[in-house]
Amino acid sequence: MTYCVGVILESGLVLASDSRTNAGVDQIGNFRKMAVFERPGDRVIVMLSSGNLALTQGVVALLEQRAQMHQQNIWNTASIYDIAYLVGETLREVQKRDGPYLLQHNIDASAGFILGGQIYGERHRLFNIYAEGNFIEATQDTPYCQNGEIKYGKPMLDRVITYSTGLMEAAKCVLISFDSTMRSNISVGPPIDLLCYERDSLKVALQRRLGDHDSYFDNMREQWGAGLKRLFSELPDPHWNI
Amino acid sequence: MTYCVGVILESGLVLASDSRTNAGVDQIGNFRKMAVFERPGDRVIVMLSSGNLALTQGVVALLEQRAQMHQQNIWNTASIYDIAYLVGETLREVQKRDGPYLLQHNIDASAGFILGGQIYGERHRLFNIYAEGNFIEATQDTPYCQNGEIKYGKPMLDRVITYSTGLMEAAKCVLISFDSTMRSNISVGPPIDLLCYERDSLKVALQRRLGDHDSYFDNMREQWGAGLKRLFSELPDPHWNI
């Protein structure tokens, strides 16, 4: 399984993905699910993959490979909306190619992407591209997208994230959201790839891989867990007589 | 949708269910999903339903109706294991009767139950009965069962609940778990039916319906939400330079 989150803020973007993939419980591997296309001053495009690894790798590989060859590609497209369309079309192409063979073995041929970034001349944007190749754009009302194992980590995003949340505060919340997910589901696991983008900078501000032992993340998880327990114990027990 | 939780503790049982049912977004109703069979001094049996409402109501109605008629029924069975089997068999019976007709309209004919209680001469027990009619028993290692929309509310159960947690503390944690779920999913909603059972008492200790405005639950939710935000803001932001 997978967990991916993208957040769009007044001040920029935060994107993060885990690295665990599994085919059954005994075939567990680490694969990077974040692809970054950066040309400073022109564009930063980040893709987070979820779903069938052969499909998502195929989509990213074709996008990279065709960057020089095709009329419209990820480097010359003038809007992120059009890139979302390009990703969706490439996903449909790979699904059409491989899907029937996967179906013969009852393998789910679904995959999805979170796409965020900014192109010179346009605002920064965030899209959620579905398994069917269609997509939605995140808005100020709902300024985040999730993909994969989304439910465990959603409550804290709902409580904290608004469009005006600061970049580092949002990164912190995204990591809390990963903590909740990793505690409740072993199919989501480190390292976590985290990327922060500052609006209108047209370059990656921060890209970091948080492995099994990252001192900030480890301390934060510990402090958060202990704090939750303390907070919980401070809540009054129900006053109903038993 | 639905959210149901059962917890087994050294000191007893806590069981809770929401009341929202929906068939699409415009047909939302309130139905009690907790059924209680109590004969003080002899047995307390609690069933929490999830899934297709016609199926679960059918199962509970047949169990009630047959209580006087059948050789083995919910009032004379000597073990909760056997009652779990009886519930599973009744579920299979109703599915066999209605399932093919539901299938004609692509309606999901699945339903499940959480079954908890104690019968004189036996320890208190907790079972999770699946849509297929088979079931598992909760143990000291994993002392809770959930059903329905389970993921949002799982992290806090994982953090707090152990077999030695006190009854009222567990009830508080179950309510926090409902709070997280109701915030992130509108298909789970009040009133919440909550029942506490003290081990070896063979009578219901507390049964309470928490409606839209319950002062304890409202205050607890508010205090919890404010506490989470405070706790979150006290965590250090990432120290990585941007």
Q: For A116-163, write each residue's pLDDT tens digit.
A: 999 999 999 999 999 999 999 999 999 999 999 999 999 999 999 999
**pLDDT, tens digit, 9 for 90 and up, residues B18-71:** 988 866 556 667 788 999 999 999 999 999 999 998 899 999 999 999 988 767
User: Based on the structure, what is the number of domains in chain B?
Assistant: 1
Across the interface, whether the CB atoms of B216 and A206 are under 8 A apart is answered no
CA distance B221 to chain A (A): 10
Domain CATH code at residue B67: 3.60.20.10
Domain extent, residue A120, equals 3-212
- Say what the pLDDT of residue A71 is: 78
Nearest Cα to A84, choosing from A53, A54, A41, A122?
A122
How many interface pairs between A and B have CB atoms less than 8 angstroms apart?
Answer: 116
Q: What does the pLDDT read at residue A108?
A: 85
Q: Is residue B160 in some structural domain? A: yes
Residue A198 lies in a domain: yes
| pLDDT at A213 (0 to 100) | 84
How high is the pLDDT of residue A160? Answer: 93
Closest CA relative to residue B12, chosen from B129, B169, B177: B169
Among the listed residues A15, A30, A8, A9, the one whose alpha carbon sits nearest the alpha carbon of residue A174: A15
**Residue A234 lies inside a defined structural domain of this protein:** no
- Chain A residues with CB under 8 Å of B206 CB are 240-242
**What pLDDT is recorded for position B125?**
98
Instruction: Note whether residue B130 is domain-resident.
Output: yes
- How do residues B185-224 score in pLDDT, each as one tens digit? 888 888 999 999 999 999 999 999 998 888 899 999 999 9
- A238, part of any domain: no
The CA–CA distances, whole Å, from B240 to A44, A168, A207, B218 equal 20, 9, 10, 39
pLDDT surpasses 80 at A24: no
For B94-221, strand residue ranges (E) read 111-119, 125-129, 135-137, 144-148, 192-198, 204-210
**Torsions phi, psi for A228 (to 5 deg):** -60, -45
- A34-47 residue pLDDT tens: 999 999 999 999 99
Among A225, A193, A206, CA closest to A114: A193
Residue A107, Cα to own-chain centre: how many angstroms? 23
What is each CA distance from A230 to A73, A115, B152, in whole angstroms? 52, 38, 20
pLDDT at residue B178 above 60? yes
**How, if at all, do strands B192-198 and B204-210 pair?**
antiparallel
User: Where are the extended beta strands (E) located within A149-203?
Assistant: 192-198
Structural domain includes residue B239: no
Top residue of B14, B151, B181, B204 to mutate, by most chain A CBs within 10 Å, is B151
Does residue A218 fall inside a structural domain? no
- Chain A residues with at least one Cβ partner in B under 8 Å: 151-152, 154-156, 158-160, 167-169, 171-173, 175-176, 180, 183-184, 196, 198, 205-206, 208, 216, 219-220, 223-225, 227-229, 231-232, 234-242
Considering only CB atoms, which chain B residues are within 8 Å of A152?
151-152, 154-155
Within-domain flag for A19: yes
Worst-scoring range by mean pLDDT, A63-72, B110-119, B175-184, B193-202?
A: A63-72
> Binning pLDDT at 50, 70 and 90, where does residue A233 land?
very high
Instruction: Please list every residue in chain A whose beta carbon sits closer than 8 Å to the beta carbon of residue B173.
Output: 232
- Between chains, do A229 and B160 touch, taking CB under 8 Å as contact? yes
| ipTM higher than threshold 0.90 | no
